[in-house]
Amino acid sequence: MIKETISKLLNEQVNAEYYSAYLYLSMAAYADRAGYKGIANWLHVQAKEEMAHGTRIFQYMLERGALPSLGGIKAPPASYSGITEIFEKVLAHEQGVTESINRIATLAEQEKDHAAYQFISWYVSEQVEEEASAEELLTRVKLIDSHSGLLFNLDTALASRVFTDPFGR
């Protein structure tokens, strides 16, 4: 049985991961309507990954005898000022997620819950990748800002991203 304190943070993280999916879907809608189908595709894949992240934590809670409770998911922004703002927000969001994952890792360590610590370690590494790819895309988008031809090239490149379940299910 997992401690209540850890279970509470895991539960909040399920909500945060599903919110991430909502956020990326709202961004995908914006990118799609703005004509950037490739960027929309990248964001759709990102949203699917977030659902997988949330669901894995949900399952883990059940495996450890905790009862996940699903609260409301807040609405993401409905519109954006452009592609640059989208990737700025992706990066800022992922930095916030890293903080919440780190809080869980710290607590699991303090509580000497080795299993929870090992479980959340996957997410700690995942956040390094999440921040790195958001940072890279933001840098590229800023570099090519206003050169719509180059943005089109990036859009084409991001169209090829496909979803693969990070947990191999």
Enumerate binding residues for ligand OFO (CB under 6 A).
17, 20, 50, 53, 94, 97, 126, 130
> Is the Cβ of residue 36 or residue 123 nearer to ligand OFO in the bound state?
123
Any alpha helices (H) in the chain, and if so which ranges? Answer: 4-33, 37-63, 83-110, 114-144, 148-158
- CA distance linking residue 46 with residue 41, whole number of Å: 9
> Is the Cβ of residue 97 or residue 158 nearer to ligand OFO in the bound state?
97
- Cβ of residue 92: shortest distance to ligand OFO, in angstroms? 11
Dihedral sign (CA 122, 125, 128, 134): negative
Q: Is 4 left (phi over 0), alpha (psi -120 to 50) or beta?
A: alpha
> Is the Cβ of residue 10 or residue 151 nearer to ligand OFO in the bound state?
10
> Is the Cβ of residue 113 or residue 130 nearer to ligand OFO in the bound state?
130
Rg of the chain's alpha carbons, rounded to an integer?
17
Q: What is the dihedral of CA 148, 154, 159, 160, to 10 degrees?
A: 160
- Cβ of residue 101: shortest distance to ligand OFO, in angstroms? 8
- Cβ of residue 5: shortest distance to ligand OFO, in angstroms? 21
Amino acid at 32: D
- Cβ of residue 82: shortest distance to ligand OFO, in angstroms? 21
> Is the Cβ of residue 68 or residue 152 nearer to ligand OFO in the bound state?
68
CA nearest to 129, candidates 164, 92, 98, 89: 98
For residue 88, give both structure tokens.
């700025």
- Cβ of residue 144: shortest distance to ligand OFO, in angstroms? 24
For residue 45, give both structure tokens.
């894949």
